[in-house]
Each structure stands twice: as C-alpha cells, then as structure tokens.
Structure 1
Amino acid sequence: MSQPVFGHVGSYRPGDTFRNRIDLSLSGVHRPRRTGVCGTQLLGAESIVLAGQYEEDDFGEDEILYSGNGGRDPKTGRQIMDQMATTGILALLKSIETKLPVRVMRKVPAEGDGLDVYRYEGLYQVVDFTYGPGKSGFQVYVFRLRPIF
C-alpha cells in the first residue's frame, strides 16, 4: 500500500484532468477507485472527489461544501437514512485537527466530446463541519473546505 501524501502528488497540478477513477488511482492523486475520501481517522483525509452524487455538495469559488458519505440509495441517488461517522467522515474530522492539505478532484464535462472527466482542483483545508438535517431531512455531515493558496 502506498504511503499517504498530504499535498501535491508528483508533477500533477490543479487543472490536470483524468479520464476516469482508475486513472486517478493509478496516478496516486486519489487512490481509492470507488470511495470519495482517501484517508484514515488517524492521519486525516489526503484527497476527496466531488462526483455530483450528494445533494449537499456545492463547489464554490471561495469554498466547497462536501457531504460525508453514506445513507444514500445507489439507484436513485437520494438520501434515505442518516449518515454515520465511518472511515471517510472520520478522516475529514481528523483533517480539521491536523490542518493538513486535502487534494480535491471534481467530475466535470470534458471539453469537446461531452464525456465527463475528473479535474484536479488543487489543495484545500477542511475548516469546519456541521451535522444536521440535509435537504432530504436526514442527518448528514457537511464539511467546509477552503482553498490553500
């Protein structure tokens, strides 16, 4: 298993794109092929992916709101139960303490061919979180991340 990296990986920089989750994993920019958070509750989150799957996610110019994971129906995409503090959420909570940078990837439309790609957005710091009723009425974790310049 690869050693955790908090910060840029290799020569990859904001704006770089990747065709799919496998390419993200092989590059080391975001190692898990399915989960949205790479990290542990002991060290914190190394990277996250915003893929448009959670209704609370919001990518803004000055900050990102990123939902914790879990409680979502994979068929409909709707939140159907409260989120629990599992591995990814615990990693993001630890990142608030450590203040280590988190790499952010976002699924975006590719230029020209209409397919989606994953774009490396840069380094962010997890600054805060809330746990409360989301848009569907279930308890969700929402993390606030700010860019590191």
Structure 2
Amino acid sequence: MNQPVFGHVGSYRPGDTFRNRIELAFSGLHRPRRAGVCGTQQLGAESIVLAGQYEDDVFDEDEIRYAGNGGRDAKSGHQLTDQVAVGTNLALLKSQETGQPVRVLRKVPAEDGGADVYRYEGLYQIVDSSYGPGKSGFNVFVFRLRPII
C-alpha cells in the first residue's frame, strides 16, 4: 500500500487534468478509483474529488462546501438518510483538527468539448464543518475548505 501524502504529489500542479479516475489513481493524486475521499480516520484526508454527485456540494472560487459521505441515492444524488460519523467523514474531521492540506480535484468539462476531465484544483485546508439538514432535509456533514495560498 502506498504511504499517505499530505500536500502536492510529484510534479503535478493546479490546473493539470486527467482523463478519468484511473489516471488519477495512477498519478497518486487521488488513489481510490471510485471513492470521493482518500484518507483514514487516524491520519486524515489526503484528497477529495468533487464530481457533482452530492447535492450539497458547492464550489466557489474562495471556498468549497463539501458534503460528507453516505446516505445518498446513487442514481438521483439526493440524500435518503442521515449521514453518520464513520469512515471518510471521520477522516475529514481529522484533517480539520490537524490542519493538514487536502488535495482537491474536480470533474469539469474538457476544454475541447470532449468528455469531462478531472482537474487538480490545488491544496485546501478544512477550516470548519457542520452537521445539520441538507437540501433534502436529512442531516449531512458539510466541510468548508479554503485554498492554501
């Protein structure tokens, strides 16, 4: 198993794009091929991917609001149940506690109009979190991330 890396990986820098999740995994920027969070509850989150799957995710230039994991209908993206403090949600809470950087990747339209790509947005820090009703009325974790300049 690869050792966790908190911060930039290799020579990859913000703006670099990847055709799919397999390329992301091979690059080491985000190793899981499906999960949106790479990390453990003991060490924290190394990276996250915003892929438009959670209705409570918001990406702004100054701040990201990233919904935690769980309780979502895979087809519609709507919450069906409350999220719970387990697994990757605990990894994100640990990163908030430690202040370690989190790599952020985002699914975006390709510049050439082809298939969507994954773009490395850079390093962010989790500055706050909340737990309460989301858009569908179920309790969700929302993590606030700000870019590290």
TM range (shorter): over 0.9
CA distance in 2, matches of 1:80, 1:44: 26
- Offset, 1:49: 0.2
Instruction: List gaps (5 residues or longer) in structure 1.
Output: none
Q: 1:17 is aligned with what amino acid?
A: T
Question: What is the aligned partner in structure 2 of residue 108 from structure 1?
Answer: 108
Question: What is the aligned partner in structure 2 of residue 9 from structure 1?
Answer: 9
- Offset, 1:113: 2.8
Once superposed, what is the RMSD of the aligned Cα atoms? Answer: 0.7
CA distance in 1, matches of 2:78, 2:57: 13
Question: What is the aligned partner in structure 2 of residue 53 from structure 1?
Answer: 53
3-state DSSP class of the match of 1:46?
strand
Question: What is the aligned partner in structure 2 of residue 94 from structure 1?
Answer: 94
Q: So what's the TM-score if we normalise by structure 2?
A: 0.98
Q: 1:105 is aligned with what amino acid?
A: L
- Offset, 1:86: 1.9
Question: What is the aligned partner in structure 2 of residue 133 from structure 1?
Answer: 133
CA distance in 1, matches of 2:141, 2:130: 6
After TM superposition, the runs of 4+ consecutive aligned structure 1 residues lying more than 2 A away are: none
- Offset, 1:46: 0.3
CA distance in 2, matches of 1:27, 1:2: 12
Instruction: List gaps (5 residues or longer) in structure 2.
Output: none
Question: What is the aligned partner in structure 1 of residue 25 from structure 2?
Answer: 25
3-state DSSP class of the match of 1:132?
strand
Question: What is the aligned partner in structure 1 of residue 37 from structure 2?
Answer: 37
- Count of residues paired in the alignment: 149
CA deviations on 1:19-77 (whole Å, 9 max, x unpaired) are 00110001100000010000011111000000001111011111100000110111222
Question: What is the aligned partner in structure 1 of residue 71 from structure 2?
Answer: 71
